[in-house]
Amino acid sequence: MIPARTYPWLSEAKMKWNWVRPSQGRITLSVCLSVAVILGVGQPALATKYAGAFMADGGGARALGMGGAFTAVADDPSATFWNPAGIADADGPEILLMHSERFGDLIDRDFASFVMPVDWNLFGGAQAGLGVTLIRLGVDDIAFTDHIRLDDLDGDGIGDPVSVLDHLDEIVYKSDQEYALMFSYAENLGGWRTGGTLKFIHQSVGNYSSFGLGADLALLRPNWWRRLDVGLKLQDITTTYLSWNTGTNELITPAIVPAVAWRQPIPDWKMSATVAGSLESRFDNRRGADQYWMGSASSNAHVGLELGFSERVFLRSGFDSGWDAEHLTAGAGFVLSRLTIDYAYAGDTLDIDESTHRISASARF
């Protein structure tokens, strides 16, 4: 799905939504989302920038609560996304399940990951781990409008997408389903953890569908200097190709994510603190859609803090791709024997009057 903030007309649509009946509000929002999907399929230049964006938020409420600054932490099953090198230290089978919703229950997103240690290795490392992950984003009963003749509201000779709101009786309802199946492997090679993920992607938007294949590589070095951990993720290192049945080919360009984390025990208070940060950089001309940009290069900063109390209760906060209140994240976690429950909140990072609530649960076997 292409982020709504890349389409200024969504702001106008949102203003109009405020004036319709509640039953129409859901339809109007669905229409806005469907036009974004159709524009993404029909215009390769735009779609390439945000191809595969449904995977961008990764998984796990813990990571989101820390502002997405998890690349140098990567010590739970969500590491398969954030930094697959982290699963080299898996000390037993563990599963993580996550569900989140946006716009009420209009958009559902699920993340499931299973990691386990193995007693063999491919590169002679001291320890190795495997992981399997499934990411799904679904939008049911989404309104499709590609068959509607758009009105030229501003007289420039081009139909304006917002005019679809005047043709609600012509819409057709279909669905959007997007999946990523990921296989991860990592080894402990001396002080360094090295890992990689192979990704299989399938998207279907009404009658449109695509398949893709890509790979991530990653490094993690615990205690590189004192208690400082460093990490590096090379995302979509081979460039991930998405081939649509319309004949359009999209590219997910590589991203570089260097990261650091400092873990500080506070034994006198039976506490611990983890401060983490990462910088996600891309080169696909996103410009002002990202936090910092120059030419075709752009970056988003992620910072996070986690406070632990007796290794049972955790409080988290951070900033995700911005420094104002809309980019503030927060969360909490509770450890109950082998079960961990995490909750996270993220502000209106897309500027669409919608915050994110995420719940995940992980269990050790």
Q: Give 100: exposed, middle or buried? Use CB within 10 Å, 0-12, 13-18, 19+.
A: buried
Q: What is the pLDDT of residue 49?
A: 59
Q: What is the pLDDT of residue 46?
A: 39
- What is the CATH number that goes with domain 43-139+171-364? 2.40.160.60
Give the β-pairing of 249-252 and 240-244.
antiparallel
Q: What is the pLDDT of residue 20?
A: 32
Ranges of the chain with pLDDT below 70: 1-50, 103-105, 349-354
Q: What is the pLDDT of residue 50?
A: 64
Q: What is the pTM of this model?
A: 0.80
Q: For residue range 190-240, what is the model confidence (pLDDT) as tens digits?
A: 899 999 999 999 999 878 899 999 999 999 999 999 999 999 999 999 888
Strand partners, 117: 129
Q: What is the pLDDT of residue 10?
A: 32
Count CB neighbours of 94 within 10 A: 22
Q: What is the pLDDT of residue 30?
A: 43
DSSP string over 250-291: EEE--EEEEEEEEEEEEGGGTEEEEEEEEEEEE-S--GGGSS
Q: What is the pLDDT of residue 173?
A: 79
∠ CA 75-81-87, rounded to 5°: 35
